[in-house]
């Protein structure tokens, strides 16, 4: 009898390992590596959360809590949904978990049966296909075209829906493309979804605070209130409050789904860290005033990255409107040889060459179901970004 489960074979292995292992080796050997592969803000945790966390330790808030979130945190999440998204959720419609990651996993585990399909627009966040597979579902990909700013085309979405479709996973601002969805565009998506009442929608709004357009961020449940019962609205503390390590994510949705997600969570992790919950409570209760300063920094960095990349022959890049990633097309570099005579044929080859020759780590698009592209995170110090892009430009110029 095989030791590893059959299910393991369905879980994609991390495609980022080759580059990240090499980056570690080169750094250990003393090379100056600039990592543009990070997936978290480089800012400190917002002070209100940090002090509330310390206070929670001092006052002994260090025991098990209610499994899917303290009543205080659920109230704060409720207030946040109302303030930022114009959405009302009762407390029994709110779930808190160890990061948005666990929220999404709980939702899949609570709803998927073998054969159920989940539509995942590509490029996608790396964990979606793995989570769907772990829960016995089948991912179905819909390509968002770079020529269209990586927007999800409603016609393409509709073509992917079958009688077996259980969920559509929407993630805008998108990791890795930085693409966003306007209210008008969301309404066009809603129009399609109205025609398929058996389909549920998970909106992963993890980057909701990091949208740089004049039009503010909007989420599907806000623009299509008639779909409210079919939508699980997911967000969290990681990106908007620089709290990646605290591990708090949350969701609002229909009460029976939230109750089932609580059962899943109760059997695997129980409550998220009590201290982190206390910190998140205070952070959510105060308005996210830090965001406009972050926007200025990220917009400046984005513009540096985009204009430098556009100056490199063989690279094309769309201007990201949210999150902190640029996702350029590097296919124009294919067929060229590095100074050692090695031919670049894939985005992974390009990433490996950039790492070896320029000491800059990026994530190849294969990891996001979108070959031909690489993801550069501009959530690192601005002078390091300038340095990295200068090195990339030289490395590309050295190709034959
Ligand atoms: C699109 C997206 N969703 C969800 C997550 C999970 O965030 P967390 O588990 O830290 O809340 C991430 C983290 O990188 C992400 O990029």
Residue 113, domain extent? 47-285
Domain end position, chosen among 242, 265, 285: 285
Residues 197 and 96 in one domain: yes
178 Cα–ligand 1 center, Å: 14
Residues 75 and 156 in one domain: yes
Residue keyed to tokens 């959360």 = 49
Q: Is the pLDDT of residue 260 over 70?
A: yes
Q: What is the mean pLDDT of residues 187-200?
A: 98
Residues 234 and 273 in one domain: yes
- Structure confidence at residue 38 (pLDDT): 86
Q: Is the pLDDT of residue 350 over 70?
A: yes
Stated pTM of the model:
0.97
176 CB within 6 A, ligand 1:
no
Is 1 within a domain? no
Residues 68 and 203 in one domain: yes
Q: Is the pLDDT of residue 21 over 90?
A: no
236 CB within 6 A, ligand 1:
yes
Spell out the residues 6+ positions from residue 360 whose beta carbon is closer than 8 angstroms to its own: 33, 34, 36, 354, 388, 391, 392, 395
Residues 191 and 164 in one domain: yes
Residues 108 and 248 in one domain: yes
Residues 17 and 52 in one domain: no
- Structure confidence at residue 16 (pLDDT): 67
More confident residue, 5 or 13: 5
Domain end position, chosen among 255, 285, 315: 285
pLDDT, tens digit (0-9, with 9 covering 90-100), for 103-152: 999 999 999 999 999 999 999 999 999 999 999 999 999 999 999 999 99
Taking CA atoms, 324 is separated from 142, 302, 309, in Å, by 23, 7, 15
pLDDT, tens digit (0-9, with 9 covering 90-100), for 28-61: 999 999 999 988 999 999 999 999 999 999 999 9
Residues 251 and 207 in one domain: yes
Q: CA angle, corner 53, sides to 47 and 58, nearest 5?
A: 125
pLDDT, tens digit (0-9, with 9 covering 90-100), for 206-220: 999 999 999 999 999
From 127, 176, 206, 237, give the residue whose CB has the most ligand 1 atoms within 8 Å, as the site to mutate: 206
Spell out the residues 6+ positions from residue 169 whose beta carbon is closer than 8 angstroms to its own: 104, 118, 119, 120, 121, 124, 128, 201, 202, 204
């Amino acid at each position: 009898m095989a030791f590893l489960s059959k299910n393991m074979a369905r879980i994609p292995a991390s495609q980022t390992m080759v580059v990240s292992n090499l980056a570690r080796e080169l750094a250990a050997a003393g090379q100056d590596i600039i990592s543009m592969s990070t997936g978290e803000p480089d800012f400190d945790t917002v002070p209100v959360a940090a002090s509330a966390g310390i206070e929670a330790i001092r006052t002994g808030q260090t025991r098990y809590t209610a499994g899917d979130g303290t009543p205080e945190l659920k109230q704060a999440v409720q207030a946040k949904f109302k303030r930022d998204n114009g959405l009302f959720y009762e407390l029994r419609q709110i779930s808190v978990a160890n990061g948005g990651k666990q929220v999404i996993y709980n939702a899949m585990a609570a709803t998927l049966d073998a054969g159920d399909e989940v539509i995942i627009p590509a490029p996608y966040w790396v964990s979606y296909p793995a989570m769907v597979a772990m829960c016995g579902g089948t991912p179905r990909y819909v390509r968002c075209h770079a020529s269209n700013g990586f927007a999800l085309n409603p016609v393409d979405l509709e073509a992917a829906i079958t009688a077996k479709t259980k969920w559509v996973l929407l993630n805008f601002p998108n990791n890795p493309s930085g693409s966003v969805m306007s209210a008008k565009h969301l309404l066009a998506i809603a129009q399609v979804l109205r025609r398929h009442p058996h389909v549920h929608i998970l909106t992963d709004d993890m980057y909701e605070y990091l949208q740089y357009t004049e039009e503010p961020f909007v989420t599907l449940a806000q623009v299509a209130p008639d779909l409210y019962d079919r939508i699980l609205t997911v967000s969290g503390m990681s990106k908007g409050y620089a709290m990646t390590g605290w591990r708090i994510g949350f969701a609002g949705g229909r009460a029976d789904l939230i109750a089932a997600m609580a059962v899943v969570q109760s059997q695997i992790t129980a409550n998220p860290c009590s201290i982190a919950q206390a910190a998140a409570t205070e952070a959510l209760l105060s308005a996210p005033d830090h965001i406009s300063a972050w926007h200025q920094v990220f917009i400046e960095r984005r513009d540096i990255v985009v204009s430098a990349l556009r100056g490199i022959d063989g690279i094309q890049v769309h201007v990201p409107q949210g999150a902190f990633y640029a996702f350029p097309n590097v296919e124009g570099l294919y067929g060229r040889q590095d100074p050692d005579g090695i031919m670049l044929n894939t985005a992974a080859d390009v990433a490996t060459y950039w790492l070896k020759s320029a000491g800059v780590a990026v994530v190849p698009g294969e990891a996001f179901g979108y070959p031909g592209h690489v993801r550069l995170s501009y959530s690192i110090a601005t002078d390091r970004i300038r340095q990295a892009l200068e090195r990339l430009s030289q490395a590309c110029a050295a190709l034959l």
